[in-house]
Structure 1
């Protein structure tokens, strides 16, 4: 029997089910990889105190990683919300010299403007994890923070940002242009070549978990043997369809629909250009 590739997500748990660990595992299941998780924090707003991020202990993080690594094994790792400098340093130690595919999604701000990365953790992320990444997947605000506040307004800005972020050490950089006007354009740079991926923009506010889903899909496809360009292409199609069929149970921003491709087929063809 051929078993599916083993993929680990190290990220926050989103109690509403739309993002973080929940979005990652739904994506892994849809793409036929074996998903495992290390929960770094619980993201859920307490109705009385208003506290929104509830951190896990370092002991709990280490225990979860050891269980996944020793009982199952790991072929690819996706990093999402890590929140603190201490967690980043802990995770860096755990995955050091693993040789696994490493996808770093530098999660900083949630869909409802929750702060998901402490100020003193940014330098740690840049020094401890980004240099070892197979690919990093910042959106425009995250790329701006990583570039010390640079303003990004158009596709040319994204291209330059990808080139400059590559200097931090990752093998590949994908800057996501979800906040641009016009088509949804993302820019990938591998140190030699820039590739752009674009689809028509979908008019919806129900995009919670889209970034997590995109990076999880990239991780899954790379684990299945796709090249980075192929993985980004396939992942963008997957997340675009998930966005196209997004919905909400309430009057708040709703989730992307991870079963979109399986239920409806691809919503749009992704255009790739160099």
Structure 2
């Protein structure tokens, strides 16, 4: 048997199974990548919103990193909810120590329900500590506005945000997601030289809980499998489009995306399962 690709997710939990660590591990499994996790926060949330969360002790978070890196080296790492500046700085330190070459930064700041998940100080730490390490950063429009301190109203604004995150803050690439934009659900990837557009039909559904986590997890799995960034993002766009367009219709609020959706959909994709 050939050696399987391995991916690590660093994030918070979701007991309802739609976002965070739970979404990431489901996605890794669907893509055929061995998934591992470092839990930073235990979150009480469901499709109706975030009720509360508890940040784990920094020493314990670091112990989880050490346990993974000393035994099973991941081929790619993704981070999601890192709610404190201390955990962000520690994550950056551990990524550097382990010489992680493929790092997907999903700057989780606001839940799909609209609830703020991190402090203002933590937002600044993302820019200073994590963006310079990122192979790609994957903000939605509210997150891109927060990171760049700019209002985004147009496609040109989206592209300018991508330039700032790459040329100003040091990320190797930025994927500005257009899910909150009016019109088609177009995303723009900037790698420091060119922009690539990834388009999909917009679907009228409330079942988008965990969509950002899932999209970034597909990209991480693709990078772990050795795919170029463009191909990993292309797969991510196809996967999340299938996940949103084939809803499970569960939950009393903003229901989870369907991690089996790509199995049920005619959306064209290069994803191999």
Please give the TM-score of this superposition, normalised by the length of structure 1: 0.92
Q: Distance in 2 between matches of 1:18 and 1:255?
A: 5
Does the 8 Å CA contact 2:14/2:45 hold for their aligned counterparts? no
Contact map agreement 2:136 2:174 (CA 8 A) in 1: yes
Unaligned runs of 5+ in 2: none
Structure 1 equivalent of residue 12 of structure 2: 12
Is the CA contact 1:199–1:269 (under 8 Å) kept in the aligned structure 2? no
Question: Residues 38 and 65 of structure 1 are in contact (CA less than 8 Å); yes or no, is this contact kept in structure 2?
Answer: yes
Give the superposition deviation at 1:100: 2.7
**Cα distance between partner residues in 2 of 1:170 and 1:266:** 34
CA RMSD across the alignment: 1.7
Whether 1:252 and 2:253 are equivalent positions in the alignment is yes
| Number of matched pairs | 265
Aligned with 2:71: secondary structure?
Answer: helix
- The offset of 1:122, in angstroms, is 1.1
* Alignment of structure 1 residues 196-207 onto 2, 5 Å: 196-207=197-208
* Match in the other structure for 1:189: 190
> What CA distance in whole angstroms lies between the structure 2 residues aligned with 1:183 and 1:268?
18
Matched ranges for 1:86-125 at <5 A: 86-97=86-97, 98-125=99-126
Asked if structure 1 preserves the Cα contact closer than 8 Å seen for 2:235 and 2:269, the reply is no
**What is the Cα deviation at residue 247 of structure 1?**
2.8
For residues 1-32 of structure 1, give each alpha carbon's deviation from its aligned partner in whole angstroms, at most 9, with x where no partner exists: 21221100000111111000000000000000
Q: How does 1:29-178 map to 2 (within 5 A)?
A: 29-44=29-44, 52-97=52-97, 98-148=99-149, 150-167=150-167, 168-178=169-179
Over 3 Å counting, the alpha-carbon distance change for 1:212 and 1:45 in structure 2 is closer
- Are 1:241 and 1:268, in contact at CA under 8 Å, matched by a contact in 2? no
What is the TM-score of this pair, normalised by structure 2? 0.93
Deviates more, 1:78-87 or 1:60-69: 60-69
**Structure 1 unmatched ranges of 5 or more:** none
Aligned 8 A contact 1:81 1:106 in 2:
yes
Any idea what the Cα deviations from partners look like across 1:123-164, whole Å, max 9, x if unmatched? Answer: 11101111111000010000001111x111122211111112
Whether the 8 Å CA contact 1:11–1:38 is kept in 2: the answer is: yes
Provide, for residues 201-256 of structure 1, a one-character-per-residue CA deviation record: whole Å limited to 9, x for no partner. 01101000000000010010111111111110111000110111123333211000
Match of 1:241 in 2: 242
